[in-house]
Amino acid sequence: MQVVMGAQMMCSFGVAPSVLAVIRPTCLCNNVPMANIMDFAPMTNIPPFGMCTTQSNPAVAAATAAAMGTPTPAPCVPVTTPWTPGKAQVLVGGMPALDIGSKCTCAWGGSISITNPGQTNTKV
């Protein structure tokens, strides 16, 4: 199913969901901008997921060390890669469309997935 602006996302190391933003609407689905695999810019397309819980994040590691080894989350600042695999048969702005099965990865090891595509009426 095609992903559009407002889709809900979750990171495997985040504590709260986030909402996808599509900045340059090139195609619409039910009057809502469609997303493509390049809609992955941290803080612009992919806002934070509340707090981050992975020790591979330097901020979490530092907070945990300061708490004498007690696991301590730190504010999430996603550092992401393009979505994959996308839907190559459907181009949005010249790039594969973002599909519900697509994922992107955070530099700290989190897997970001779509939990709600933002629309349910149209299948592409």
Cα maximum dimension of the chain: 52
Inside any domain, residue 71: yes
Q: How many domains does the chain have?
A: 1
Inside any domain, residue 111: yes
Inside any domain, residue 1: no
Write out pLDDT tens, residues 104-121. 999 999 999 999 999 865
Inside any domain, residue 124: no
Instruction: Over range 32-61, report the average pLDDT.
Output: 96
Cα–Cα distance, 104 to 106 (Å, whole number) = 7
Cα–Cα distance, 54 to 74 (Å, whole number) = 9
Inside any domain, residue 62: yes
Inside any domain, residue 121: no
Inside any domain, residue 3: no
Cα–Cα distance, 16 to 51 (Å, whole number) = 7
Give SS3 for 44. Answer: coil
Inside any domain, residue 65: yes
Write out pLDDT tens, residues 88-107. 999 999 999 999 999 999 99
Asked if 68 contacts 40 with a C-beta cutoff of 8 angstroms, the reply is: no
Domain that holds residue 28: 8-116
Q: What pLDDT is attached to residue 123?
A: 52
